[in-house]
Amino acid sequence: SDGVIIVGAGHAAGQAVASLRSEGYEGPVTVIGDEPYVPYQRPPLSKKFLAGEIDIDRVYFKPPDFYEKSNAEMVLGRKVVEIERPKKIVHLDDGSTRGYDKLILATGSRVRELNIPGFDLEGVFYLRTIEDVEAIQSKFNEGGKMVVVGGGYIGLEVAAVAAQRGIDVTVLEMAPRVLARVVDPILSKFYTKAHTEAGVKIETGVTVSGFEGSNGKIEKIDCGDGKTFDADFAIVGVGIIPNVELADEAGLKVENGIAVDELCRTEDPDIYAIGDCTNHPNPILGTRLRLESVHNALEQGKTAAASICGKEKPYAQVPWFWSDQYDLKLQIVGLSAGYDEVVVRGDPENERSFAVFYLKDGVMIASDAVNRAPEHMMSRRLIAAKAKIPAAKLADESINMKDMAE
C-alpha cells in the first residue's frame, strides 16, 4: 500500500505521525516538508529560543530519531506542488511523484507580508522559522534601535525579549491599543504598562506606510501622517495567512481555511486537513473557526490519525492559547468575541497576577489569566459547561477558584 502522506512538517504533522502509530496504523507513513527540519515548536521562537535560553534540541517537537523509531519517512526540504486526486498522487518540486492511500494536509500558515515601499530592505524581518530567529539574533548582538510593527502577541513577545537584551524597542500599533483584536482594554492597559516599565515605547494609532533606508539597508519607518521612527532593524508581526493554495487548486473546498468536518475530513474521503490551515466546526462554541494555536494543531493531528484508523474521535474542545512576556504568563481560553460583561478577579493596576472573565448573557465564554493557573484551569471547565456563575462570585477572591462551580 502507499500508506499515509502528510504534507507539511510542522507541529500538526509531528502529532499526526505519533498518533497514527499509537492508534495502530501499520502502513507506510511519509512526511513531506519544505523546511529543512523535523517538526519543531514555533512558540519558543518568540520566547525562550529567541532569548537564547534554550537550544534547538528543546525546540523540536520530538527528538529527531523519533521518526525513525516510528518508521516514518521524512522527506525534508521538499515542497508538494500539486495533488492529483483522481490518481491519488502528489507531485514534488523535484519533479517526482508519490502515491497515497490517505493524504493529510498539514500545511500551516505563513506570515502576512507588508507590501509597502522599502519592503525588501535589509533589516526588515518576519518571525515564523528557525532561520528568522537566527537572523534576528544576529541583529540583537549588534544592538541598536528595533521597531516592531504590530502590537499583537508575537510583536509584544519579541519586544519583551529584545528589551531584556538591552535593545532600544518601539512598538507601532495601528489600532488605538495593543492586543485590540483579542482582549479587553483592561489587558491592553496592563500590557502597555508592563512594557513601558521595561523601557519599551508603545505608539498606538500609527499606520506604517513604508520603510526607508540607504545602501539597501533600513534606517527609518514612515507612518502616514509624516511621522517617522528611526530603526536599525524592524520586526513585522501583522498576522498570518493559511496555506490553502494546494487544496484550492485540487478543487477542495476552501473558506477561510481548508474546510473539514469534526473528524478532520475534507470532502474527498481520502484527504484530511489539520492545524493552522483548517476551517473546522467547533461543537462547543456552535460555530466554524480557523485557529492559530498549538492546541488546535495537536488535537486535530490526533483526530485525523484516529479517523484514518477507523475510530471516531471528534475534535470538540474549547480553544486555548498562551503568551509569555517578561515574568507574565498569560493563558487565554475560549473566544471573547461578542462578550457583554467583563469580570476582573484581582488587581491589574497593582499586581502582576489577575484574571479577566468574559461573559455573554451571564455565561462564561472566555478568560485571560495572568500568572493565574487555577483561574485558567477552572475557566476551561466552566466554558465547556456553559456555566452561569454570578459576576460577584467570580470576582470574590475569598472564594477558592476550585469551589466556583459549586
* Residues of the shown chain interacting with ligand FAD in the complex, contacts defined by CB under 6 A: 7-13, 32-35, 42-43, 45-46, 79-80, 106-109, 127-128, 154, 243, 246, 275-276, 292-295, 297, 321-323
The minimum distance between CB 296 and ligand FAD, in angstroms, equals 6
The minimum distance between CB 48 and ligand FAD, in angstroms, equals 11
Strand partners for 97? 91
Q: How far is residue 11's CA from residue 276's CA, in Å, rounded to a whole number?
A: 10
Q: Which is nearer to ligand FAD, 319 or 348 (CB)?
A: 319
The minimum distance between CB 112 and ligand FAD, in angstroms, equals 12
Q: Which is nearer to ligand FAD, 234 or 404 (CB)?
A: 234
Q: Helix count (H) and strand count (E) of the chain?
A: 9, 26
Q: Which is nearer to ligand FAD, 8 or 348 (CB)?
A: 8
Is 137 in contact with 129 (CB distance < 8 Å)?
A: no
Tell how far CA 244 is from the center of its chain.
Answer: 16
The minimum distance between CB 77 and ligand FAD, in angstroms, equals 9
Tell me phi and psi for residue 20, to 5 degrees: -60, -45
The minimum distance between CB 212 and ligand FAD, in angstroms, equals 26
Q: How far is residue 339's CA from residue 49's CA, in Å, rounded to a whole number?
A: 35
Q: Which is nearer to ligand FAD, 183 or 246 (CB)?
A: 246
Q: How far is residue 145's CA from residue 233's CA, in Å, rounded to a whole number?
A: 7
Give kind and range of the element (H or E) at residue 359. Answer: strand 354-360
Q: Which is nearer to ligand FAD, 221 or 332 (CB)?
A: 332
Q: Which is nearer to ligand FAD, 170 or 243 (CB)?
A: 243
Q: Which residues of 296-335 are buried (b: 16+ CB within 10 A; e: fewer)?
A: bbbbbbbbbbbbbbeeebebebbbbbbbbbbeebbbbbbb
The minimum distance between CB 276 and ligand FAD, in angstroms, equals 4
